[in-house]
Chains A and B, each alone.
Chain A
């Protein structure tokens, strides 16, 4: 089945640690996105990539990093510089229209 997968579903991090969230898609979509969702808030764009080996900062990129070495994969690293990382992280991909399709998300909690 085609789709977007994210792992892990739940992630716990100690303060000061970097963690990497996985996002994989087999939809052959060129563009991929990372969002963060906090309770009662809309989705906020962290980073996006429109093509392999290229990515741009979104609205809240500080404390995050990404790579896009393969079309299928767009991992997000939450670094220790991110001061409030506890959130629901959503990955999305897009083909040629504006419509974005989401993975199931990763819930990150800082202990």
Chain B
């Protein structure tokens, strides 16, 4: 299994649709999980941290399933401005190359919201 694996997409959805992205990670000792958003030719920007209990921020809901080593991001009522690439990010725990603060990035899932 790759360290962090995401649905490759692309996802093309109409405005107002609900869309879900999935991500799996290989290291069961990972402790921190994030979703970043990256617009075309721009830097990634933090969208949400993912907590064990799941968390919600407006139209965005992130969930973590440690047993299955699975992270999800749900976007409700999609807007045109949600069009971007969504990156699943997982930390690398100690003993797997040094620092506790190395992050591993998935390749991203491209979302296009259409009018």
Contacts and interface: CB of A to CB of B under 8 A. Distances in A.
Interface in B50-92: 87, 91
Contacts of B91: 98
Interface string A81-111: 0000000101000100111111111010000
A43 B44 contact: yes
B99 A42 contact: no
A40 interface: yes
B115 interface: no
A42 B46 contact: no
A98 B42 contact: no
Contact of A50 (B41, B46, B99, B108): B99
Contacts, number: 49
Contact of B98 (A31, A56, A105): A56
Contacts of A90: 43-44
B101 A31 contact: yes
A61 to B, nearest CB: 12
A45 interface: yes
A48 interface: yes
B42 A104 contact: yes
Interface in B88-115: 91, 98-108
B5 to A, nearest CB: 10
Size category of the binding interface on chain B: 20 to 34
Interface string A2-14: 0000000000000
Contact of A105 (B31, B43, B108): B43
Contacts of B44: 43, 90, 102
Contact of A99 (B31, B49, B99, B104): B49
B99 A48 contact: yes
Contact of A98 (B32, B43, B45): B32
A88 B85 CA distance: 15
Contacts of B105: 35, 42-43
Contact of A101 (B46, B99, B100, B101): B46
Interface of B: 4, 31-32, 34, 41-46, 49, 87, 91, 98-108
17 contacts: A35-B105, A41-B107, A42-B87, A42-B108, A43-B87, A45-B103, A48-B99, A48-B102, A56-B98, A90-B43, A94-B101, A99-B34, A101-B46, A102-B43, A102-B44, A104-B43, A105-B42
